[in-house]
Structure 1
Amino acid sequence: MVKRKLKDTFADKGPGDGMSNPPIHDFKDEEKREFRKCLVAWFKENQRDLPWRKHLTNPDIDQRAYAVWVSEIMLQQTQVATVIDYYKRWMKKWPTLQDLAKASLEEVNEMWAGLGYYSRGRRLLEGAQKVVKEFSGKMPRTAETLLKHLPGVGRYTAGAIASIAYGQTTGIVDGNVIRVLCRMRVIGANSTSQPVQNKLWSLADEIVDPDQPGDFNQGMMELGATVCTPKSPNCDLCPVQNLCLAKSMVDKNKLRNGNKLGVISRTSVPDIECAADQCELCLPENEAWDEKEGVQNYPRKSGKKAARVERTSVCVLCKKSETEELQYYLVQRSQKGLLAGLWEFPSVKMEEDDENSHHTVHEILQKSCGLLVPPSTQSMVVGEVEHIFSHIHQTYIVQSLVVSESEIDSSNIHTENGRWVTREEFSSAAVSTAMKKVLKALETSSSGKKKKKPTDTDKNQKSITSFFTKK
């Protein structure tokens, strides 16, 4: 196999060292300097007005670190627009790390409800309590010690806190940075592979501005979030477009092909070639460069693993209080696993051989929380509610049951794992978005907004309205 050579465009000498250029996946020294200068200047001029950035002027280094920590944990797998209100409420309730350390898990779960990935909130609480107890309220001062001591803090979050709050010269790699670097240095191999991850972290550490690491790292994330986006990136607004090899490939192909769009083979891409033989970072030889995609050819990701399909039977157990206010019964999930510690309607996971059937409300109540109601008590079929978790496609088979005080054993109601809540209390409780969808489905069904053709199973069942009006 003939070894691919760097083209003349990229084969001039390095800055004053008499050495040839580094491979295309690396930055030359002058490119690093230009990258830092252009990116930091752009960030200072164009950064978004985000609430966590207001805390970066706080002279208390621990408070700066706490603010960055909370924001970065919330931003994991979550859009900025969603996080803003949660962050504001969080910092209002727990403005200092010491305040958070005094909170209960129930309070944290209530604050986090609807944000998803609930273990993040629990680990923030555990981390705050650890810092107060073991470090006298002083945050670890380096990326290395943050990574070592704080639960839920990985390499990226540790680097973000250390660079933004402490000014430590350390790089960061998140989804936005991956996209920017893969396009800048035409890294086309699977971005989740170990060789690519190693290279990205190496590049991030090499190019970070030693004088302004916080602004540089925020600039990298801001660039990926607002300009170098996954779809429809605005390359004309990019402050470092002159250093971007993916854009250079697009421009050169437009000129060579007379701006005609189409798919051309990897080997016919002109001017930018890797000198390495069988490079672990390049676009695979058997994959084509799609000119219609342009810079969006980078980065490449492995195919997503299909979400696991699950079905769960749910009973919305209702009763009217002495004041005629409707109440709902909730049970608390285990403190481990998915949605740990959150409250939900009594539920029973359906096994694979239960696909075409559902549990009765009596079975759900007995299996999930040990409650017994008279066998004659009738229920209403509400329907199916779908919710997508990160790795689970969940379908809830929802039924409702309305009972009176005399129809249920009240001695089982007020255990620590079960409680009655009003509609208002439900809204502020630590319940998942999925359970909010379930209640909305019930309310829509009972209000008559959603008409459902009755099945053979529920033709003889009374509607929830008949329970409310029964004399």
Structure 2
Amino acid sequence: MKKVRAAVITGKRANMAKRKRPVAAVKEEIISQTYHTFPDAAEVVLLRSQLLSWYDKDKRELPWRTLAITEQDLNIRTYAVWVSEIMLQQTQVATVISYYNKWIKRWPTVQDLAAATLEEVNQMWAGLGYYSRGKRLHEGARKVVSELNGEMPQSVDGLLKQLPGVGRYTAGAIGSIALGQVTGAVDGNVIRVLCRLRAIGAESSSPAVTEALWDIANSVVDPNRPGDFNQAMMELGARICTPKAPLCSQCPVQSHCRSYQKANYAKEQSTKKLLGKTRKGSPPDIEDCVDSEACLLCPSEPWDSELGVMNFPRKPAKKPPRVERTLTGLVLRHRADGQDEYLLTQRPSKGLLAGLWQFPSILEVGISEVEHKRALCTEICRILGTGFSEDPQFVGEVVHIFSHIHQTYVVYSVCLKARGSANHCETVQWLSRSALQEAAVSTGVKKILKLYDSVDKSDHQTTNAAKRKKSVPTKNKNSCAARGDSKQLSLTSFFKNIKEEN
């Protein structure tokens, strides 16, 4: 009967997963699983107090946090928090700080950003990655100025509907931090914290889990300090409740964590087993979900004692990145003042690295060097509008990893003797080294340039070493090489020369 019941339950769960149900039905089923929520109001009050006390004492001093506290102008404050949240998407805090400070210094208001060009925005964003974010900020600023009379939206709903690139989390974060609205904010860090606190082990991107996490976040957020509470949750996930090697002993809300209780219990049972102190039939010391077999939030996979709290959350398997190989031509020419100029083309306004500048590039054609050179020469001639006689030289390969693409740049260089210009086109330009460093180029372009410099320097050193070796005279004037005599010396002559040298 047990096997039959298990089969029926498994079938039901499979059918539930396949069948799309209304969000309301999903919510109703989730709410019934009190094990995965905070049904006790007193526990919620204690959780808020413990978390905010820790945050007040140990939070990192970050420029956007300081600005959100000190800036009195609501419009500027909302704009500043918006910029920080967009920059922080998929990017580490340490990387964002310098970009944020430069951005706010240059464009302190939404009007200033709206007046900038997309080229200037791309230059400022260069190296930060996920370049469409900067473009959406620029588009949003122009929309605020042209359609909203320069006033940033003053509600979560307005932020969500009126700003491009602003989703549910970003709207919640801006609304709570800048506007003081009582709303949760669920990002990757908060997902991890809540899944561990409430032992939510189902796939974290499933509709059931997503709705449950937002319900929990909205129910526990502190009504008096919603912005600080949401930032405290994020801070906890970033510094304590980390994906790997979490610092559970330093967690301010450890007493509320069901996954820690479960991990601790499993550890105790393992220790008792080693000591021979286990008792069969003894009840568990920890609370568990009353209907874990059918619960949409419980883990479908068995508990791994080695992982402990890292059993939560369970993420969906990542798709392997697409593999691409791109032929890249580093084309340069000598200026009259002795400096070099590099040929760059602008990428399309949509898609990967939209609007950024790059060296002439095409997807790899063939596998041989001859095929590579032929394809690159055709592309460079198309850009220049004229032919050239110089032969491209292989430089090497550069690997650059995007979130969904494993990119390899196969790099060739060619130095043009003629100083002919490229076609007159806004998407093609020659740039000096200093101008290239300041241009809106990706990290991949900088890696290619670094490779070229290292190979060029190595070749230069090798050439100079060969010249020095050729010009340095042999110290032993009596040697065969010095005398131009290939005849072998006798032992007597050999020892005589050694004695004279000494």
TM-score by length of 1: 0.85
8 Å Cα contact 1:313/1:364 also seen in 2: no
Residue 307 of structure 1 aligns with an amino acid whose one-letter code is P
> Residue by residue, what CA displacement relative to the aligned partner does 1:354-412 show, whole Å, maximum 9, x if unpaired?
58852433123135x254332x3122110111111110011111000101334x3x2x3
Query: Given the alignment, which residue of 336, 347, 350 partners 2:364?
Result: 350
Looking at structure 1, the residues matched to 345 and 77 of structure 2 have their Cα atoms a distance apart, in angstroms, of 38
Match of 1:382 in 2: 395
Superposition pairs for residues 430-449 of structure 1, below 5 Å? 430-448=440-458
Match of 1:281 in 2: 297
8 Å Cα contact 2:47/2:256 also seen in 1: yes
Looking at structure 2, the residues matched to 343 and 202 of structure 1 have their Cα atoms a distance apart, in angstroms, of 44
Match of 2:248 in 1: 235
Looking at structure 2, the residues matched to 47 and 339 of structure 1 have their Cα atoms a distance apart, in angstroms, of 34
Q: Does 1:48 align with 2:64?
A: no
Q: Aligned pair in 2 of structure 1 residues 308, 235: CA closer, same or farther (>3 Å)?
A: same
Cα drift, residue 450 of structure 1: 11
Query: Given the alignment, which residue of 332, 341, 348 partners 1:318?
Result: 332
Cα drift, residue 272 of structure 1: 3.3
> Residue by residue, what CA displacement relative to the aligned partner does 1:405-434 show, whole Å, maximum 9, x if unpaired?
34x3x2x34421111111111111000001
Looking at structure 2, the residues matched to 259 and 168 of structure 1 have their Cα atoms a distance apart, in angstroms, of 49
Looking at structure 2, the residues matched to 259 and 121 of structure 1 have their Cα atoms a distance apart, in angstroms, of 56
8 Å Cα contact 1:188/1:283 also seen in 2: yes
Looking at structure 1, the residues matched to 460 and 90 of structure 2 have their Cα atoms a distance apart, in angstroms, of 33
8 Å Cα contact 2:358/2:445 also seen in 1: yes
Match of 2:426 in 1: 416
Looking at structure 1, the residues matched to 460 and 48 of structure 2 have their Cα atoms a distance apart, in angstroms, of 57
Match of 1:131 in 2: 144
Match of 1:264 in 2: none
8 Å Cα contact 1:253/1:270 also seen in 2: no
8 Å Cα contact 1:184/1:243 also seen in 2: yes
Looking at structure 2, the residues matched to 229 and 355 of structure 1 have their Cα atoms a distance apart, in angstroms, of 46
Looking at structure 2, the residues matched to 203 and 339 of structure 1 have their Cα atoms a distance apart, in angstroms, of 37
Q: Does 1:35 align with 2:47?
A: yes
Residue 73 of structure 2 aligns with an amino acid whose one-letter code is D
Residue 38 of structure 1 aligns with an amino acid whose one-letter code is Q
Q: Say which structure is richer in helix.
A: 2
Superposition pairs for residues 50-449 of structure 1, below 5 Å? 50-56=62-68, 57-258=70-271, 271-276=286-291, 277-284=293-300, 287-350=301-364, 357-360=371-374, 361-367=376-382, 369=383, 371-374=385-388, 376-406=389-419, 408=420, 410=421, 412-448=422-458
Q: Aligned pair in 2 of structure 1 residues 324, 67: CA closer, same or farther (>3 Å)?
A: same
TM-score by length of 2: 0.80
Cα drift, residue 290 of structure 1: 1.6
Q: Which ranges of structure 1 fall in alignment gaps of 5 or more residues?
A: 5-20, 262-267, 453-461, 463-471
Secondary structure of 2:182 counterpart = coil
> Residue by residue, what CA displacement relative to the aligned partner does 1:285-337 show, whole Å, maximum 9, x if unpaired?
xx221222111111110111000011111100001111010110111011011
Looking at structure 1, the residues matched to 394 and 461 of structure 2 have their Cα atoms a distance apart, in angstroms, of 12
> Residue by residue, what CA displacement relative to the aligned partner does 1:24-52 show, whole Å, maximum 9, x if unpaired?
10112222111111111211111101111
Secondary structure of 2:150 counterpart = coil
8 Å Cα contact 2:133/2:165 also seen in 1: yes
Residue 383 of structure 1 aligns with an amino acid whose one-letter code is G
8 Å Cα contact 2:33/2:295 also seen in 1: no
Bigger Rg, structure 1 or 2? 2
Aligned-pair identity in percent equals 50
Residue 301 of structure 1 aligns with an amino acid whose one-letter code is K
Looking at structure 2, the residues matched to 194 and 120 of structure 1 have their Cα atoms a distance apart, in angstroms, of 26
> Residue by residue, what CA displacement relative to the aligned partner does 1:108-154 show, whole Å, maximum 9, x if unpaired?
00000000000000000110111111111111111111000000101
Looking at structure 1, the residues matched to 218 and 151 of structure 2 have their Cα atoms a distance apart, in angstroms, of 26
Cα drift, residue 270 of structure 1: 6.0
Looking at structure 1, the residues matched to 324 and 93 of structure 2 have their Cα atoms a distance apart, in angstroms, of 30
Cα drift, residue 341 of structure 1: 0.3
Q: Aligned pair in 2 of structure 1 residues 35, 207: CA closer, same or farther (>3 Å)?
A: same
Q: Aligned pair in 2 of structure 1 residues 318, 259: CA closer, same or farther (>3 Å)?
A: farther
Superposition pairs for residues 445-464 of structure 1, below 5 Å? 445-448=455-458
Match of 1:14 in 2: none
Looking at structure 2, the residues matched to 93 and 414 of structure 1 have their Cα atoms a distance apart, in angstroms, of 31
Residue 42 of structure 2 aligns with an amino acid whose one-letter code is E
Deviates more, 1:120-129 or 1:50-59: 50-59
8 Å Cα contact 1:227/1:238 also seen in 2: yes
Looking at structure 1, the residues matched to 302 and 284 of structure 2 have their Cα atoms a distance apart, in angstroms, of 10
8 Å Cα contact 2:261/2:286 also seen in 1: no
8 Å Cα contact 1:170/1:205 also seen in 2: yes
Secondary structure of 2:330 counterpart = strand
Looking at structure 1, the residues matched to 244 and 436 of structure 2 have their Cα atoms a distance apart, in angstroms, of 38
Match of 1:26 in 2: 37
Q: RMSD between aligned alpha carbons?
A: 2.3
Secondary structure of 2:290 counterpart = coil
8 Å Cα contact 1:189/1:299 also seen in 2: yes
> Residue by residue, what CA displacement relative to the aligned partner does 1:137-189 show, whole Å, maximum 9, x if unpaired?
11111111100000010110000000000000000110000000000000011
Looking at structure 1, the residues matched to 273 and 415 of structure 2 have their Cα atoms a distance apart, in angstroms, of 66
